[in-house]
C-alpha cells in the first residue's frame, strides 16, 4: 500500500514540525500556507521542557541555540528607567524566570523548522494557498483550495494558528471562534532600531491604565518593542481586522501619555513593517476534542496558550501527533484519540495561569501599579522567584516513536 497522503494547513511552528516528523516517517505530506512566502513576522518566542528534547532529536539544537537573542533576563523599570527588580535567565524545567534559556526570533525558528521539513522529497510546501472547502468520508478527505484545485487526502491537519479557518471547516461550525477565550489583553510586537540601553536585558515598564511597554534585545541593529494593553479596549477591538496603519494609530494614541520610553517606541513603530497585533487568548476545545473523523488540529489551532508556552506546545503537539499517526496510519481516529489522551493533561497544566490573568501583572490604577512594583521588588529581594508561579513547564515523559522505520 502506498504511504498515506496527509495535508497540513499552515507553515508556522506546529505545521513545519508536524511535516518534519511525518516526512521522516515516509508519509506523503503537503503543507499549504496562506501567505505568499513563509510568514516570519513576530518577535522573541521561547521553548522549554519536552520541546528542547524534540529539537535535540531533530538535530537542530545547535543551530537553534546559535540563533538565540542572547537575552540575559528582564528588568522592571520605573518612569526614570531605574531598575527595581531584575530576573535573570531561568531554566523553565527547574526554576521560574521571565526569560527562557532558548529565546529566539519567531521568524528564525519558523525558517529552521521549514528548512528541515523541506529537505524531505516526500514533503511539499505550497504557498499562497489555503483550503476553501472540505468534505470527509469514512475513507478520505476531499478539499478544494484557493487556487481552485480539488484534491483527496487520507488525513488533514489544521496548524493554521489561533484563528484557524481550517478548524472552522473541520468542525463545520461558523461559530468556531466561540472556542477562543479572550483575556481582554492585546499585545503588539514589532522591531525598532536598537539603542545601547536595550541590551543585554529586556526592560519592562508598567503605566497606569492597564498599559505595559517592553523593549527586548533582538540583534546588533534591532530591538523588539512590545505594547501591551490589559483591558477590553473597544478602540483596539474596532481595528482588530483593519490594517496595520489603523492599529498603529490607535496604539499611538493609547500610549502617548504613558511615560518612560513610550514616545520613542511609538515613533519607531510608525515605520516598522513587521508589526503584529495579537488578541491574547486561550483555546480550549473541551468536549469537542482536537479532531473530527480524519481531521486533527495541532498547536494554537487546538490549544492556544497565553502563558508563554504556545511554542513549546506547538513543537510537542507536532511530534506527538506525527508519532501517533505512525503507530496507527490506517486508523486516524484511533491515532488522533491517542494523541489527545497523551497530551491533554500536559496542555491543561501548561495553559493554566495565575488567577487574575494578565490584569494581575498589568493593573489599571496608580495603586495597582505601586502594588505590582512592590510585589516584584519583594520577590526580587527575597529571591523566591517561585512565588510568581504559573510559568513553570510541567514535566512530560516524551515517548520514542520509530520514525526512521519508514512507511513503505
Ligand atoms: C505573524 C505572527 C507573529 C507572531 N508573533 C509572536 C510573538 O512575537 N511572540 C509570541 O509569543 N507569539 C507570536 N506568535 C504566535 C506564535 O507563533 C504561536 O503562538 C506559537 O508559536 C504556536 O504556533 P502555531 O504554529 O500553532 O501557529 P502560528 O505561529 O500562528 O502559525 C500559523 C501559520 O498558519 C498560517 N495560516 C493562517 N491561516 C491560514 C489558512 N487559512 N490557510 C493556510 N495557512 C494559514 C499562518 O500564516 C502561519 O504561518 C505569532 C504568530 C504569527 C502568525
Domain ranges in the chain are 5-69+105-179+282-351
C-alpha distances out from residue 76 to 247, 270, 305, Å: 26, 25, 24
Instruction: Select the more confidently predicted residue: 49 or 19.
Output: 19
Q: Who's near 218: CB < 8 A, 6+ residues apart?
A: 43, 44, 69, 105, 191, 194, 224
Amino acid 94: pLDDT: 40
Does the pLDDT at position 337 exceed 70? yes
Span from the CA of 328 to the centroid of ligand 1 (angstroms): 28
Nearest to 285 by CA among 158, 182, 179, 159: 179
- Residue 9 Cβ inside 6 Å of ligand 1? The answer reads yes
Evaluate: CB of 363 within 6 angstroms of ligand 1.
Answer: no
d(CA 139, CA 29): 17
How far, in Å, CA of 314 to CA of 15, rounded?
8
Question: What is the tens place of the pLDDT at every residue in 312-336?
Answer: 999 999 999 999 999 999 999 999 9
Ligand 1 atom closest to the Cα of residue 41 is 1
Per-residue CA distances from 205 to 44, 103, 262, 306, 332 (Å): 18, 20, 10, 20, 48
Measured at the alpha carbon of residue 18, what is the angle toward residues 14 and 20, in degrees to the nearest 5? 120
Q: Could you tell me if the CB of 165 is within 6 A of ligand 1? A: yes
**Residue 201 in contact with ligand 1 by CB distance below 6 A:** no
Q: Indicate which atom in ligand 1 lies nearest the CA of residue 301.
A: 26
Cα–Cα distance for residue pair 394/408, rounded to 1 Å: 36
pLDDT digits (tens, 9 = 90+) for 193-202: 999 999 999 9
Output the CA 264–ligand 1 centroid distance in Å.
Answer: 27
CATH architecture of 5-69+105-179+282-351: 3-Layer(bba) Sandwich (3.50)
Determine if ligand 1 sits within 6 Å of the CB of residue 276. yes
Closest approach atom of ligand 1 to CA 165: 41
The pLDDT tens digits of the residues spanning 227-286 come to 999 988 999 989 988 999 999 999 999 999 999 999 999 999 999 999 999 889 999 998
Residue in the structure block whose three cell numbers are 529571591: 383
- Give the pLDDT mean for 122-144: 97
C-beta 216 within 6 A of ligand 1: no
* Ligand 1 binding pocket mutation candidate from 160, 224, 320 (most atoms within 8 A of CB): 160
Ligand 1 within 6 A of 398 CB? no
Report residue 97's pLDDT band, with 50, 70 and 90 as the boundaries: low
H-assigned helices in 67-199: 106-118, 165-171
pTM of the entire structure?
Answer: 0.92
Our answer on whether the CB atom of 318 is closer than 6 Å to any ligand 1 atom is: no
CA distance 247 to 255: 12
Amino acid at each position: 500500500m502506498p504511504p498515506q497522503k496527509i495535508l497540513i494547513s499552515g507553515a508556522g511552528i506546529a505545521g513545519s514540525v508536524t511535516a518534519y516528523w511525518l516526512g521522516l516517517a515516509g508519509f506523503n505530506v503537503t503543507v499549504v500556507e496562506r501567505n505568499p512566502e513563509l510568514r516570519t513576522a513576530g518577535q522573541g518566542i521561547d521553548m522549554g521542557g519536552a520541546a528542547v528534547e524534540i529539537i535535540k532529536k531533530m538535530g537542530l539544537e545547535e543551530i537553534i541555540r546559535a540563533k538565540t537573542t542572547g537575552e540575559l533576563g528582564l528588568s522592571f523599570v520605573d518612569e526614570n528607567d531605574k531598575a527595581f527588580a531584575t530576573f535573570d535567565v531561568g531554566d523553565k524545567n527547574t526554576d521560574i524566570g521571565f526569560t527562557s534559556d532558548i529565546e529566539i526570533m519567531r521568524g528564525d525558528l519558523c525558517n529552521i523548522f521549514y528548512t528541515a521539513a523541506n529537505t524531505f522529497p516526500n514533503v511539499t510546501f505550497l504557498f499562497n494557498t489555503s483550503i476553501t472547502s472540505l468534505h470527509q468520508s469514512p475513507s478520505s478527505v476531499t478539499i478544494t483550495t484557493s487556487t481552485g484545485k480539488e484534491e483527496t487526502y487520507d488525513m488533514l491537519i489544521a496548524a493554521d494558528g489561533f484563528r484557524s479557518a481550517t478548524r472552522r471547516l473541520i468542525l463545520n461550525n461558523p461559530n468556531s471562534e466561540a472556542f477562543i477565550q479572550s483575556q481582554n489583553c492585546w499585545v503588539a510586537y514589532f522591531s525598532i532600531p536598537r539603542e545601547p540601553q536595550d541590551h543585554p536585558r529586556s526592560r519592562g515598564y508598567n503605566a497606569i491604565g492597564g498599559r505595559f511597554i517592553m523593549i527586548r534585545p533582538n540583534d546588533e541593529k534591532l530591538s523588539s518593542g512590545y505594547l501591551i494593553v490589559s483591558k477590553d479596549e473597544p478602540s483596539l477591538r474596532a481595528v482588530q481586522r483593519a490594517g496595520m496603519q489603523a492599529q498603529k494609530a490607535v496604539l499611538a494614541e493609547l500610549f502617548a501619555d504613558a511615560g518612560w520610553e513610550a514616545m520613542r517606541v511609538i515613533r519607531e513603530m510608525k515605520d516598522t513593517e513587521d508589526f503584529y497585533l495579537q488578541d491574547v487568548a486561550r483555546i480550549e476545545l473541551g468536549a469537542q476534542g482536537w479532531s473530527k473523523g480524519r481531521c486533527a488540529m495541532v498547536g494554537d489551532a487546538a490549544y492556544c496558550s497565553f502563558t508563554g508556552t504556545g511554542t513549546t506546545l506547538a513543537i510537542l503537539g507536532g511530534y506527538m501527533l506525527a508519532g501517533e499517526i505512525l503507530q496507527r496510519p490506517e486508523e486516524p481516529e484511533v491515532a488522533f484519540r491517542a494523541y489527545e489522551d497523551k497530551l491533554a493533561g500536559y496542555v491543561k497544566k501548561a495553559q493554566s495561569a495565575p488567577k487574575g490573568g494578565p490584569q494581575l501583572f498589568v493593573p489599571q490604577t496608580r495603586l495597582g501599579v505601586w502594588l505590582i512594583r512592590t510585589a516584584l521588588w519583594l520577590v526580587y529581594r527575597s529571591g523566591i522567584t517561585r512565588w510568581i508561579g504559573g510559568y513553570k513547564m510541567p514535566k512530560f515523559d516524551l515517548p520514542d516513536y520509530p520514525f526512521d522505520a519508514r512507511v513503505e
